[in-house]
Amino acid sequence: MSDIKDNLEHQALEEAVDILVEENAALRAQLEQFKWRDIASAPKDGTVIQVFIPSRNRVVEAWYCEETGLWPAPDNAYNDDGEPCNVGLPTKWMPTPKPPEEI
């Protein structure tokens, strides 16, 4: 009887470890998307992203404007010539996180 109990406990532990390994891999994949990436790989389709501006040592939201080659802020601020204002020259980017479900 003791062997059966030990076998069941061992099997339950193996199943628990397998579940934890799977959960760990899923969490690591989620974290991977929020690592800083080289700006050359940033989306150029108008998607708002987080960018790092080293000259200002700041992280700001911006999107790439194909017309001007600049990185304007998403609030669509424009200068006197009607062109989007540039936030600076970013070197790194990451996706903008989703807002919290509860506000």
pLDDT tens for 76-96 read 667 777 776 788 999 999 999
Are 47 and 7 found together in one domain?
no
Give residue 25's domain range: 1-32
Question: Is residue 16 located within the same domain as residue 60?
Answer: no
> Based on the domain organization, do 61 and 100 belong to the same domain?
yes
Backbone φ/ψ region at 46: left (φ over 0), alpha (ψ -120 to 50), beta: left
Question: Do 50 and 28 lie in a common domain?
Answer: no
The answer, as to whether pTM is greater than 0.75, is no
Q: Do 7 and 48 have their domain in common?
A: no
* Of the candidates 98, 97, 91, 93, the residue with the CA atom closest to the CA atom of residue 42: 93
Specify whether 2 is located in the same domain as 14.
yes
* Same domain flag for 27 and 43: no
The answer on 82 and 51 residing in a single domain is: yes
Q: Give the chain's domain count.
A: 2
Per-residue model confidence as pLDDT tens digits over 9-43: 878 788 888 888 898 888 888 777 789 999 999 99
Contacts of 58 (CB under 8 A, 6+ apart): 52
